[in-house]
């Protein structure tokens, strides 16, 4: 190599190596400080694409678990109200049993019937008033066989969406709650006139009301049993979603997260190369001064 002063090839070469080592050192610092192997698309274009898909799936799974938990809270709200309705039906059956015996006169049966009707009115009030986040649960709004979510407010049975797609066999199912008003249960004077549970003002009516109340209790129990089964199913769904999210998070970590031990080794290597290149650049910059000796400087 010629001794020249216009072009210092050694310094250019050392500067290039310094730039490369310093850039690699900067990459290591970024990875170690962020904990991510993939910080930009340039780090791993294909890996970044896979990672972002996984991140969206993980976020959707976590939200799906929250959706299922909200549905459990809704079911518990409905079940709690049905528990109170259960108490009212039991009291109504007690009153019907009382009115069915012959030791009471007509005036006394009317008094008993007034409490009976008050219990029926309370059942209807509870059914019409029980709501979760503004969604009424027991008044028949969720009893429809067909779900329609195309409008601002959905109608029919409630769709609980927890999966990451839109496949009915995998990503959602429905909560259907039958009406629990007194008229729907067939008790009290809000039910069909002449029905078995309409009144207990006479001994005969009270005796027929016992059968109607048995049917009402069974109908109410069917609603509660259906809700209980759905709650258990949702709890199992949440467990499955959490396992899915955990495994997907593990896969995403292997793609995205930096191996600190390996990256620290690379950091030290690039740090040594940077220091070495800096020292050699200083030496290369001083080499043209040798020409001064030949010029008699």
Could you report the per-residue pLDDT of 115-154, keeping only the tens digit for each?
999 999 999 999 999 999 999 999 999 999 999 999 998 9
Q: Which residues of 119-275 form beta strands (DSSP E)?
A: 131-132, 135-136, 158-161, 172-175
Fold classified for 77-226:
f41 fragment of flagellin, N-terminal domain (1.20.1330)
Buried b (16+ CB within 10 A) or exposed e, 172-202: bbbbbbebbbbbbbbbbbbbeeebbbbbbbe
Tell me, what's the pLDDT at 121? Answer: 97
d(CA 103, CA 126): 33
Tell me, what's the pLDDT at 5? Answer: 74
Instruction: For CA atoms 113, 119, 121, 127, give the dihedral sign.
Output: negative
d(CA 224, CA 96): 24
Tens-place pLDDT, residues 267-284: 999 999 999 989 988 888
Domain extents in the chain:
9-35+258-294, 77-226
d(CA 220, CA 20): 76
Q: What are phi and psi of 200, to 5 degrees?
A: -125, 30
pTM over 0.85: no
Tell me, what's the pLDDT at 83? Answer: 97
Q: Is 204 helix (H, G, I), strand (E, B) or coil?
A: helix
Tens-place pLDDT, residues 47-77: 999 999 999 999 999 999 999 999 999 999 9
pLDDT, the chain, mean: 92
Q: What's the whole-number mean pLDDT along residues 250-259? A: 93
Instruction: For CA atoms 114, 120, 124, 125, give the dihedral sign.
Output: positive
Q: What is the CA radius of gyration of the chain?
A: 39
DSSP-derived pairing of the beta strands 131-132 and 172-175 = unpaired
pLDDT confidence of 297, banded at 50, 70, 90?
A: low
**Which of left, alpha, beta for 140 (phi over 0: left; psi -120 to 50: alpha)?**
left
């Amino acid at each position: 190599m010629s001794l020249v002063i216009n072009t210092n090839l050694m310094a250019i070469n050392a500067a290039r190596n310094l730039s490369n080592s310093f850039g690699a050192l900067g990459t290591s610092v970024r990875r170690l400080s962020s904990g991510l192997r993939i910080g930009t698309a340039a780090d791993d274009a294909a890996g970044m694409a896979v990672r972002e898909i996984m991140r969206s799936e993980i976020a959707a799974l976590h939200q799906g678990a929250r959706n299922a938990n909200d549905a459990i809270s809704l079911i518990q709200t409905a079940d709690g109200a049905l528990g109170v309705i259960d108490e009212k039906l039991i009291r109504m059956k007690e009153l019907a049993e009382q009115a069915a015996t012959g030791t009471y006169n007509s005036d006394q049966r009317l008094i008993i019937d007034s409490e009976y009707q008050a219990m029926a009115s309370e059942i209807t009030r509870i059914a019409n008033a029980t709501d979760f986040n503004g969604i009424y649960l027991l008044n028949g709004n969720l009893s429809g066989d067909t779900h329609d979510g195309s409008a601002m407010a959905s109608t029919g049975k409630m769709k609980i969406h927890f999966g990451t797609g839109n496949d009915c066999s995998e990503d959602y199912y429905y909560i259907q709650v039958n009406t629990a008003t007194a008229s729907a249960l067939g008790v009290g004077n809000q039910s069909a006139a002449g029905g078995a549970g309409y009144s207990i003002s006479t001994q005969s009516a009270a005796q027929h009301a016992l059968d109607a109340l048995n049917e009402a209790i069974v109908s109410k129990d069917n609603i509660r049993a259906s809700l209980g089964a759905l709650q258990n199913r949702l709890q199992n769904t949440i467990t499955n979603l959490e396992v899915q999210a955990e495994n997907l998070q593990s896969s995403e970590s292997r793609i995205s997260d930096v191996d600190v031990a390996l990256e620290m080794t690379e950091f030290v290597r690039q740090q040594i190369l940077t220091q070495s290149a800096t020292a050699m650049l200083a030496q290369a910059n001083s080499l043209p001064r040798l020409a001064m000796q030949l010029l008699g400087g």
